[in-house]
Amino acid sequence: MNILMLGCGKTGSLVAEVAREHGHSVKTLRALENPEGTALTPERLRDIAVVIDFTTPQAVIKNIEACVGAAATIVVGTTGWYEQLPRIKQMVKEHDAALLYGSNFSIGVNLFFEASKAAAAALHHRYSGQIFERHHTHKKDAPSGTALSLQKIIAESAGNALEITSFREGEVIGMHELILDSPHDRIYLCHDSKSRRGFAEGAVRAAEWVVGRKGLFDFREVWKQM
């Protein structure tokens, strides 16, 4: 299928590479070619099966609005925009479009989410909890979208909004930790990314899955179907 890739950073470039390995045709649109999403016209998107966005929090909303406005299908790996989800959800419905988003497309991270959801029961038994996340110094948003998703999962499971502590150091790809502590023991759950390959594989699988569907989808809720 024809894929339009937005974002030529380390992860975006790897997503494009993996998509080509899967047999897809990939075109790339760089930021300078697409100010404020203006290059995402209905004409450009007509022959595109799915757009994949790994840009920046500053650029992503305009890209989403342009794609949804053209009733196109878009997969969004960029984070830092989720406060606008209610508005975007309504827009997707009005335009009969498809948008699949995820704070993290790694299967391992989503398994980590499930383990953390189960462990959150400890907060009902006099445990305290904290979330720590570490990323490279170039990451634009803090806390990370993954950490915020983890915080939301714990809050939904146990009613406690745990504090997130963020670190930006070196070239750390991504480490997320959940610590649940009591006077008697400590539960420690950690996901440590060794490469961006897991993110890229998940994003391509998401793109393959969402084509032909309509609506707003959260990768965390649909990854098992892929």
Give the model's pLDDT for residue 149. 93
What pLDDT shows up at residue 78? 94
pLDDT (tens place) for every residue of the chain, 226 residues total: 999 999 988 899 999 999 999 999 999 999 999 999 999 999 999 999 999 999 999 999 999 999 999 999 999 999 889 999 999 999 999 999 999 999 899 999 999 999 999 999 999 999 999 999 999 998 878 999 899 999 999 999 999 999 999 999 999 999 999 999 999 999 999 999 999 999 999 999 999 999 999 999 999 999 999 8
Backbone angles phi, psi at 71, to 5 degrees: 60, 35
93 assigned to active site? no
Residue 47 burial (CB count, 10 A): 10
What's the topology of domain 107-192?
Dihydrodipicolinate Reductase; domain 2 (3.30.360)
Question: How high is the pLDDT of residue 201?
Answer: 96
Rounded CA-CA distance 182/189 in Å is 15
Domain boundaries, the chain: 2-105+197-225, 107-192
pLDDT of residue 140: 79
- Look at residue 74 and give its three-state secondary structure: strand
Catalytic residue of the set 10, 117, 139, 214: 139
Identical topology for domains 2-105+197-225 and 107-192? no
Please pick, among 135, 138, 152, 191, the residue that the annotation labels catalytic: 135
Single pTM value for the model: 0.88
Q: Nearest-CA neighbor of 222 among 132, 99, 120?
A: 99
**The pLDDT value given to residue 54:** 96
Q: Measuring CA to CA, which residue among 1, 65, 14 is closest to residue 38? A: 65
Report domain 2-105+197-225's class: alpha beta
Question: CA 63 from chain center: how many Å?
Answer: 15
Residue 170: which region, alpha, beta or left (left: phi > 0; alpha: psi -120 to 50)?
A: left
Query: Does the annotation mark 138 as catalytic?
Result: no
> Contact, 52 vs 77, CB < 8 A?
yes
Task: Please classify residue 194 by burial: count the beta carbons closer than 10 Å to its beta carbon, then call 0-12 exposed, 13-18 middle and 19+ buried.
Answer: exposed
What tokens appear for 37 in the block?
Answer: 């999403």
Dist CA 146 CA 174 (whole Å) = 9
Report the pLDDT value the prediction gives residue 144, as an integer from 0 to 100.
93
Rounded to the nearest angstrom, the gap between the alpha carbon of residue 40 and the centroid of all alpha carbons in its chain is: 21
